[in-house]
Each structure stands twice: as C-alpha cells, then as structure tokens.
Amino acid sequence: MQIYLPIAEISVNIFLILGMGGGVGFLSGLFGVGGGFLMTPLLIFIGIPPAIAVSTGANQIVASSISGVLAHWKRGNVDLKMGYMLLIGGVVGSTLGVWLFTYLKTLGQVDLVIQLSYVLFLGTIGLLMLIESLKSMRALKKGPIKRKHHNFLHALPFKMRFRHSKLYISAILPIVIGFVVGVLSAIMGVGGGFVMVPAMIYILGMPTSVMVGTSLFQIIFVTANVTFLQSVNNFSVDVVLAVLLLIGAVVGAQFGAKAGAKLKGEQVRILLAIMVISVCIKIALDLTLTPDDIYVLGPTGGH
C-alpha cells in the first residue's frame, strides 16, 4: 500500500516505512540507543531527500526519547542538574547546527557534510567501542577494570557538585559535550546518544545507572529544538513520515528490549560496535565509489 508524503513529496510503501521503524526500534531497544544514526541513512537510501530525512528523523527521536526517559525517570535514573548543563550546550549547539545546515544547503555541500560526519563519528565511536568491549571481555576473566581517569579535565574552573552522579567536576565539560552533540543532532539527524554516552563514561566519568536516562532527557529537548527550527527555516519536517516511523519504532523497541535482556552487556556492545562500523563503511563506499552520474541536481531543483 502506497502513501504520498505531503512534505517529502514522494510516494512510499507504508509497510516499508513501518518495517524500517520497527527494525530500527528493535535495535534501539536491544542496544539502548536512539537509532537515529541508522534511521537517517536508511531514509536517504529509500529516496527521501536528505534534508527531509534529517529533520524528520529528529522529530521521530523526540517521541522515542520521551518513551524511554519516562521509564528511567520512574526509577530515579535522571540526573537533572547534569541534564540542564548538557541542555544549555545542546540548545546553543543545535541552533548553530540548523543555521550551518541551511548555509551548507545554499553552498550545495550539505549532503557531503552529512556523509563525512557519519563516516568520521561512526568510524571513531565504532572502533573505540569494539576495542573497549573486546578488552573488557578479556579483563573480565582477570578482574574489574578501572574507569575513572584523572587528567587536565579535572583542573578546569566552575566546578559543580552533581550529587546524583556522585561527581564534582567543571560545568564547562557537560556544556561543551552538549554543544557538540547539539551540532551533530542538527546536521546528522540523530539524537547523539552514540556520542554522548561514551563522552559521559570516558570524559565525565558518570555512573552507568544515570547515564542513559540523563542522555535521553537532554536528547528530547535538543531534537525538539531541531524539529522546530528545521520546520521554520527549511520546511523540511514531514509529520506523516515521522508518525509512521515512530509507530514502527515504539513497537519494535519493546521486542528489542526483551531480546536485549537475554544478552550479556559486553556481547551487546560488540554487536552495536559492528553495526556502527558497517553503517560507516557503507557511507564511506558511497563517498569514494564513482557515482552513477557525475552531474547532480542542486537544492533549487528536484522537488
């Protein structure tokens, strides 16, 4: 059954979209990530214009993050103070990101920047995760590993106490992390959990219990900001597409979470790392292999 999307201005198969939402939702439930880094490339792959894919992806992530954060909230796993600091950086970063997105669009370079960001971030994060989880798998046999590092980051000013996370660190750190994630969110159409969670572990040294809840809390507001700004600046949020995706995603996520409970933490991380690297390789190939046509239509044409 085909459905015509009012903003993307193309006709898509409704079951393909629901299935994609379900598949990405399953994986996000399994791995405890938002899944934006899979959803946006998939949307572009089936022919949704990149600008629409990025903005609509952000809108869909608002819904899946709300659904996720509520569960963490009830268990008291959201560090609000940390969340607010991340949010300050996030709102500034995402606003700048949307502005940058609009500017790159006029230069005709937005697709390239989206793809390069994907290769760079997914490649780095994927490799780091793979190495780390392989190491800790080996270390498990020997004994627990130490996670907290003391370096120059702890010498920064504006120190604040984050009771919930049991941390006493500079407020600059979460603000900068929030900022970077905000920019990525606007340009890549992702929540940014895959950048934020490692940053929380390795840079902030947050306990794993509050990590996901706090990251989701920040993602809600940043993706909502992106949705709003993209609607106003680029008219590129397709509500119909977003609703179809999120119906699939919330159902898929429930099954994913059940499947995830049966796997060990280290196994989940290795699988996630492999998936992140695969998406990275796919996009890297698109960038380097000779395209079908070396002449392409610019942003003023096409739709």
Partner 1 sequence: MRIFCSLIVIFIFTTSSAHSDDLDVDLSRPDVQLNVSFKGSELLIFGAKDLQGDVIIVVRGPTKDTSVRLKQKIMGVWANTDEVVFADAPSYYALAATQPISELLSAKDLKTERIGTHNLGLNTIKKPKGATAKIVQDFTDGLIRNMKAKSLYTKETGIVKRVGRQLFRTNLWFPSNVSVGDYTVDTFLVVDKKIESRKTTHLQVHKVGFEAKVFNFAHEHAMLYGLLAIVIAVISGWVANVVFKTEGQ
Q: What is the binding site for partner 1 (CB under 8 A)?
A: 2-4, 6-7, 9-11, 59-60, 62-67, 70-71, 108-109, 111-112, 116, 224, 227-232, 235, 237, 239-240, 242-243, 246-247, 250, 254, 287-288, 290-303
Least distance (Å) from partner 1 to the CB of residue 287?
5
Return the bridge partners of 11, or none. 4
Cα–Cα dist 86/174, whole Å = 5
Least distance (Å) from partner 1 to the CB of residue 148?
33
Nearer to partner 1, 44 or 129 (CB): 44
Cα–Cα dist 65/217, whole Å = 7
Where would I find the beta strands (DSSP E) of 122-240? 159-162, 167-170
Give CA separation, 10 vs 4, 16, 207, in Å: 6, 14, 45
Nearer to partner 1, 170 or 215 (CB): 215
Nearer to partner 1, 62 or 206 (CB): 62
Least distance (Å) from partner 1 to the CB of residue 182?
16
Nearer to partner 1, 274 or 296 (CB): 296
Nearer to partner 1, 66 or 137 (CB): 66
Contact between residue 194 and residue 118 where contact means Cβ atoms under 8 Å apart: no
Least distance (Å) from partner 1 to the CB of residue 269?
25
Contact between residue 222 and residue 33 where contact means Cβ atoms under 8 Å apart: no
Closest CA relative to residue 153, chosen from 199, 111, 121: 199
Closest CA relative to residue 20, chosen from 219, 241, 226: 241
Contact between residue 226 and residue 55 where contact means Cβ atoms under 8 Å apart: yes
Nearer to partner 1, 64 or 165 (CB): 64
Nearer to partner 1, 59 or 95 (CB): 59
Least distance (Å) from partner 1 to the CB of residue 214?
17
Where would I find the beta strands (DSSP E) of 148-243? 159-162, 167-170
Least distance (Å) from partner 1 to the CB of residue 271?
23
Least distance (Å) from partner 1 to the CB of residue 107?
8
Residue 64 belongs to what H/E stretch? helix 50-74
- Reduced to 3 states (helix: H, G, I; strand: E, B; else coil), residue 174 is helix
Where would I find the beta strands (DSSP E) of 76-224? 159-162, 167-170
